[in-house]
Structure 1
């Protein structure tokens, strides 16, 4: 009936099964199937549409998606043009589904709010970072742009977060001995690529998750301004869970530097002579392994 149709909206239509479109809908760019309880095994029947750029499968009962034509780290032939995928309000509860989405060759925008997977972590920002780290091409997640700084922070965090699991699975800092088992690689298919990009995390950065009770302990921190010798060091007790952005806000008030761009780094007694940059405003101090008695260096421009 419509040989040149480009957009088709079919939400709330009690559609349950999809059949492969043969010689029809080949010009389709946008397809909305939200609020239809679809038999998920039939979703791939529409994956051959050559021009499909945006697909809405929100509230469709989806829990699994699998591209069997491509192994981890490779791209699927399915959905060749798909840039935008909406998966809000489904039953996705496993990280392997996100790993499968990395196989999509053109995916740029993803929305997957209100899925059971996201309820696992208490902090929604942590979930966001893990998704960004697992999906290399993502430019927008849940309607928020993924900036290059956020990607870098997310990927570095990911390496630290799963670094101990990598070592236990047979990973090694020496590239020639770095052979993690297939179970780890199927769970974290991007991990080796991230190690190539950033290098293996230092052992001091691979900390076991601390029990919750320790997270609220106060750290005695000395703030030093190395480029302004007239300013005396300031000592403060701060919770390890305090995020860097709030620390900068406190320093703006203490140092009377409103509007200045602050750059923070820290030194600790364990690694004398080494200065570690604190480069992500959304991370807590404990993420950087800042400990009681450490000095934070404050510079501004």
Structure 2
């Protein structure tokens, strides 16, 4: 007979619950006995496959399945930690304590300098901070990351009564095992606006894509490192009817599709996924309220808006103000030209792309500023009006010779600039109208060779003026 294994609070550890053993987390996939042994066993699939020993089989019989051939092991129930309730975790971290240094482990207090040298620091006012935080009914932001929280447990009423003002909750990398467990926690927090469940194993189950009352106040959701596909992300988001910000970094997102459940979204973070092209990104173009899009560390090579020609304004992403495409594969200036089609783009982050190596950092920045007329922030640095003016004038001078060769002329009635040039430099005509055509001398290509830039110097001795 298999006996139930209970936590300290009396709740039962069941199948698919999450457990911890010596800092390693896993999911219970089997509870029962094994041949030629006594007592009960847990069959656990570990998050870290190197922690396991097999694929869930014992003496030729399969007792549970694992995604890795070495991800499973059998372990005695008494050796695993099933965690504790959310309220106990909050009380443990934020409740009043009479311990020395107010519960702060002073051995862990240090700073690391640029040479990775650790220097101890002193915690001043720990008791005062603890006293303030220990008023649980005033807590608005709660961070329980990495703690062994499994759910609400038998302390739902305590959580509801003692922490009514929590607006931000971080239960990432804990032992919550399902969206049901998460919903039971949020049901006790009527003012919750931001929820972080990253680094947890939360399977998508049938019926989990319905509007749930317990999530109706949540506007910001973090589901990073969950191994979710885009389809699973959309299913999850259907439970959050007023969602405005979605962070789903380090997942398994490849092909995007039109997200009907995200119409109110203002921020979308898809950093470190597997988005293969801008074609996929354009599936999101109808998100009419989206003002921030983060696509860092994907596989994007080009940016384009095929609905309008160069110089016109696209209907895609009508409210987009900030775009981050760091750590991608963008290598051509025509992608930057395309960004000028956006109606409201004010910020671009594009470091660690091949395009940044096409010239000096200063020149690349000048080009970015000149090509995107609405830009106010470039790679986290503000663009001032005098910088914009200088960048646009320098652009005129730099590409003036190319303009002349392409049929351009200082006199408007003689100007026959080719379509190819205007496609490559769609803002050039605007610069001409704004600043006038540069003089021919300003457009002369100066030699950069050493011999052509040497100056002649004569040195004479005043005591011997005839000597050279």
Q: TM-score, normalised by structure 1?
A: 0.70
Gaps of 5+ in 2: 1-238, 458-468
Match for residue 307 of structure 2 among 69, 82, 91: 69
Q: Give, in angstroms, the shift of residue 218 of structure 1.
A: 5.2
Query: C-alpha distance in 1, partners of 2:341/2:253?
Result: 27
Match for residue 370 of structure 2 among 128, 133, 139: 133
Task: Look up the match of 2:327.
Answer: 89
Q: Give, in angstroms, the shift of residue 17 of structure 1.
A: 0.9
Task: Look up the match of 2:87.
Answer: none
Match for residue 103 of structure 1 among 316, 338, 341: 341
Q: Give, in angstroms, the shift of residue 167 of structure 1.
A: 0.3
Max radius of gyration: which structure?
A: 2
Q: Deviations over 1:105-133 (max 9, x none)?
A: 01001111111011121x20011001111
Query: C-alpha distance in 2, partners of 1:15/1:94?
Result: 25
Query: C-alpha distance in 1, partners of 2:252/2:337?
Result: 29
Query: C-alpha distance in 1, partners of 2:430/2:287?
Result: 30
Residues 209-228 of structure 1: matches in 2 within 5 Å? 209-213=446-450, 217=454
Secondary structure in structure 2 of the residue aligned to 1:31: strand
Task: Look up the match of 1:208.
Answer: 445
Query: C-alpha distance in 1, partners of 2:440/2:452?
Result: 20
Residues 266-281 of structure 1: matches in 2 within 5 Å? none
Secondary structure in structure 1 of the residue aligned to 2:323: strand
Query: CA 1:218–1:140 in 2, change beyond 3 Å: closer, same or farther?
Result: farther
Query: C-alpha distance in 2, partners of 1:91/1:203?
Result: 37
Q: Give, in angstroms, the shift of residue 14 of structure 1.
A: 1.7
Task: Look up the match of 2:274.
Answer: 37
Secondary structure in structure 2 of the residue aligned to 1:20: coil
Task: Look up the match of 1:236.
Answer: none
Q: Give, in angstroms, the shift of residue 179 of structure 1.
A: 2.1
Gaps of 5+ in 1: 221-301
* Larger displacement relative to structure 2 (208-217 or 189-198): 208-217
Query: C-alpha distance in 2, partners of 1:183/1:112?
Result: 26
Q: Deviations over 1:198-249 (max 9, x none)?
A: 00001111121523435864598xxxxxxxxxxxxxxxxxxxxxxxxxxxxx
Match for residue 432 of structure 2 among 187, 195, 200: 195
Is the CA contact (8 Å cut-off) linking 2:447 and 2:453 kept in structure 1? no
Task: Look up the match of 2:361.
Answer: 124
Q: TM-score, normalised by structure 2?
A: 0.45
Secondary structure in structure 1 of the residue aligned to 2:246: strand
* Residue-pair matches, total: 218
Residues 220-239 of structure 1: matches in 2 within 5 Å? none
Task: Look up the match of 1:262.
Answer: none
Match for residue 391 of structure 2 among 154, 164, 176: 154
Query: CA 1:214–1:53 in 2, change beyond 3 Å: closer, same or farther?
Result: farther
Query: CA 1:90–1:217 in 2, change beyond 3 Å: closer, same or farther?
Result: farther
Task: Look up the match of 2:246.
Answer: 8
Q: Deviations over 1:79-106 (max 9, x none)?
A: 0000000011110000000000000001
Q: Deviations over 1:242-278 (max 9, x none)?
A: xxxxxxxxxxxxxxxxxxxxxxxxxxxxxxxxxxxxx
Query: CA 1:173–1:2 in 2, change beyond 3 Å: closer, same or farther?
Result: same
Query: C-alpha distance in 1, partners of 2:451/2:243?
Result: 59
Task: Look up the match of 1:20.
Answer: 258
Query: C-alpha distance in 1, partners of 2:379/2:299?
Result: 19
**Higher RCO (CA 8 Å, separation ≥ 6 residues):** 1
Match for residue 381 of structure 2 among 144, 151, 165: 144
Query: CA 1:219–1:104 in 2, change beyond 3 Å: closer, same or farther?
Result: farther
Q: Deviations over 1:33-88 (max 9, x none)?
A: 01111021211000110110000011111111211111111100000000000011
The 4+ residue runs of structure 1 with deviation greater than 6 A are none
Query: C-alpha distance in 1, partners of 2:318/2:431?
Result: 25
Query: CA 1:135–1:88 in 2, change beyond 3 Å: closer, same or farther?
Result: same
Query: C-alpha distance in 1, partners of 2:366/2:446?
Result: 17
Query: C-alpha distance in 2, partners of 1:69/1:214?
Result: 50
Query: C-alpha distance in 1, partners of 2:333/2:308?
Result: 17
Query: CA 1:217–1:115 in 2, change beyond 3 Å: closer, same or farther?
Result: farther
